Structure 1
């Protein structure tokens, strides 16, 4: 699974570049979950995030990596 599977292109900036970092809200939209659930995944360490100053950001490839891990876990069970 790649990040393009999650369609982050809708978050493109005015210059047409895909973002490297997503807000928590954008990551939640990619995963089609709520903001609170997304923060819970971040707190538990299941979804990678970075603290930049006072801001919390999610690497653009982290939602796809999270889904890949969840799928692998499900298939292993």
Structure 2
């Protein structure tokens, strides 16, 4: 008998699956490609690399925006 796969919470599954491409981040931040790659290169925006493609978790984009808002408010 095969047991069902373990269940995960929706938030855990969403965090794993919600990856953005560079063009998607460009659109959300309304920045150019070079600016987004500069953020990735300098570590200001976290990403994972799959082969030669960068993927940005949505939580990393949210963290980046919150950090920038906090810096500007200070």
Moved beyond 2 Å, runs of 4+: none
Query: Cα RMSD between the aligned structures?
Result: 1.6
> Residues 26-41 of structure 1 correspond to what in structure 2 (within 5 A)?
26-41=24-39
Aligned partner of 1:21 among 19, 22, 41:
19
Aligned residue pairs total 59
Which consecutive unaligned segments of at least 5 residues does structure 1 have? Answer: 1-16
Which one has more relative contact order, counting CA pairs under 8 Å at least 6 apart? 1
Which consecutive unaligned segments of at least 5 residues does structure 2 have? Answer: 1-13
Query: Normalising to structure 2: TM-score of the pair?
Result: 0.70
Post-superposition shift, 1:54?
2.4
Q: Are 1:31 and 1:63, in contact at CA under 8 Å, matched by a contact in 2?
A: no
